Amino acid sequence: MSRFNERFFTRLDAAAERTGVPAVARGQARRRHLRWVPIVALAVASAGMIIGLVRVERVNAGYALIMLGFAIAVLLPIFGPLKPWGSAERVDEFDRALRARAMLAGFAAVSMAAFAGIWLVVGLGIIGDWPRLAILDQLRSLGFYLITLHSAVPTLHASWATRPVAEDDEIGEVCS
């Protein structure tokens, strides 16, 4: 193989390593503190839920926004600071406690939103005299909104509850 091809393939390998996908495949994902991405996902999904509830004829536009927030939120547990259950990553007491607190915050948010959302949809359906399909559309939107909350809130809680630790190589550069 020529030297050009070796350099080219080496650069391609280096570019692929920077994406983080090979590390995820090896089970060595770099955990990041995603502080603003969950807020964006929740804001987009909340805006979609509000649009669907305020303007019943725009429920599909609100559902599209909820799905956009859902698509962002589903990726958060993969790259966020919480280590998943049953993974090959080393988990210590701090990681377990952080995961437990974050999941409890997420379950509390989902429970409160489910309770308030169901009663809000039922109440607005009665007051607004919505047809049955409109109520079903609202409940579909509420379901995906709750899944978005379930994915985004634990990452958001864990990201804001802890401070990011500098990488090992950055520490070595600072100390020397």
What tens digit of pLDDT does each residue of 12-37 get?
777 777 776 666 666 655 666 777 88
Residue of 20 and 132 predicted with greater confidence: 132
Backbone CA torsion sign across 86, 91, 93, 99: negative
Ordered DSSP codes for 93-159: HHHHHHHHHHHHHHHHHHHHHHHHHHHHHHHHHHHHT--HHHHHHHHHHHHHHHHHHHHHHHHHHHH
Burial 30-62 (b: 16+ CB within 10 A, else e): ebebbeebbeebbebbbebbebbbeebeebeeb
Q: What is the pLDDT of residue 167?
A: 55
Question: Reduced to 3 states, what is the DSSP secondary structure of residue 34?
Answer: coil
Work out the pLDDT band at 80, boundaries 50, 70, 90: confident
Q: What is the reported pTM?
A: 0.75
> What is the distance between the alpha carbons of residues 99 and 105, in angstroms, rounded to a whole number?
10
Element (H, E) at 31: none
Domain ranges of the chain: 32-167
> What is the distance between the alpha carbons of residues 5 and 15, in angstroms, rounded to a whole number?
15
- Give 24-79 pLDDT, tens digit per residue: 666 655 666 777 889 999 999 999 999 999 998 999 999 999 999 999 999 888 77
Sequence-separated (6 or more) residues with CB below 8 Å from residue 47: 62, 65
Q: What is the pLDDT of residue 111?
A: 97
Percent of the chain with pLDDT over 90: 48
Residue of 168 and 3 predicted with greater confidence: 3
Lowest-confidence segment of 16-30, 96-110, 128-142, 160-174 by average pLDDT: 160-174
Mean of all residue pLDDT scores within the chain:
83
Backbone dihedral angles phi then psi of residue 143, each to the nearest 5 degrees:
-60, -45
Which amino acid is it at 174? V
